[in-house]
Amino acid sequence: MIFQPCDCFHCRRGAQQVIFPILLDNTVEYWLDIPKNASTSIKVKFDLDGKPSVPKEYYSMFAASGIKPYAVYRDPMVRFASLLQHYLTRSGPYGRYNRGEKFFWNHMNLKIEELSIEERMEIMFDNLTKLNGFYYVHHWFPQTYWLPKEFEEYKWVAMEDVQKVFDIGNTNPGSGKITTDMLTKRMKDFVAIEYRDDYEYFTSKGLL
């Protein structure tokens, strides 16, 4: 992984590979939090912010007793375009445009609003290794990074089915300014390599 380890507030307090109990159709289910995969919408829907997650010491016991957490997956290329959008455009209350602005100013001495979308994408792409915990670099980690090793099986939900499965409205709409057709060959090649584990894993599960 080219990305730095994340030492943001959330990661420092152990919020990586976390599973929350959720009540779905009056049944207790579990949900694995994978950033950029409808994470905020699901947290809002089930009021999970600040709520305790399942202690990691229980994961082995849960897995052995047949519990399969819900988890959301998406095409790595679409997710990468969404990440760029998240940082490079104004995109709703939970976007990271403010961090994108700071990233460009702190590391490149550039004002992001003076750049075209294409220029923003190129510059961001060329400086991904500079992302650290201040910019929540954990968002960029591959989806498979977030899978606790204790579980072998999940109830996988495609991003398109999130609203139906979890009965939620679109609480964190992206504006769709950056789409996969805007990614250059260089970017697409990077995604194919950097997120290879995701492609292999989801393909092996018949999901992609």
User: Measured from the CB of residue 133, what is the shortest distance to Zn ion in angstroms?
Assistant: 5
Residue 43 lies near Zn ion (rule: CB under 5 A): no
> What is the C-alpha to C-alpha distance for residues 141 and 47, in angstroms, rounded to an integer?
25
Residue 6 lies near Zn ion (rule: CB under 5 A): yes
> What is the C-alpha to C-alpha distance for residues 87 and 115, in angstroms, rounded to an integer?
14
Residue 83 lies near Zn ion (rule: CB under 5 A): no
User: Measured from the CB of residue 182, what is the shortest distance to Zn ion in angstroms?
Assistant: 26
Residue 182 lies near Zn ion (rule: CB under 5 A): no
Residue 138 lies near Zn ion (rule: CB under 5 A): yes
Torsion angle (degrees, nearest 10) of CA 192, 101, 103, 48? -70
Q: Which neighbouring-strand residues pair with 71?
A: 156
Element (H, E) at 9: helix 9-12
> What is the C-alpha to C-alpha distance for residues 62 and 159, in angstroms, rounded to an integer?
25
Residue 99 lies near Zn ion (rule: CB under 5 A): no
DSSP state of 199: H
Tokens of residue 9, six digits: 């507030």
Residue 34 lies near Zn ion (rule: CB under 5 A): no
User: Measured from the CB of residue 187, what is the shortest distance to Zn ion in angstroms?
Assistant: 23
Choice from 8, 44, 128, 159 touching Zn ion (CB under 5 A): 8
Residue 165 lies near Zn ion (rule: CB under 5 A): no
How many residues bind Zn ion (CB under 5 A)? The answer is 4
Q: Is 27 helix (H, G, I), strand (E, B) or coil?
A: strand
Which among 11-19, 64-72, 81-89, 91-99 is the span making contact with Zn ion, rule CB under 5 A? 11-19
User: Measured from the CB of residue 153, what is the shortest distance to Zn ion in angstroms?
Assistant: 26
CA 153, distance to chain mean position in Å, is: 19
Q: Is 191 helix (H, G, I), strand (E, B) or coil?
A: helix
Question: Rule CB under 5 A: which residues touch Zn ion?
Answer: 6, 8, 11, 138
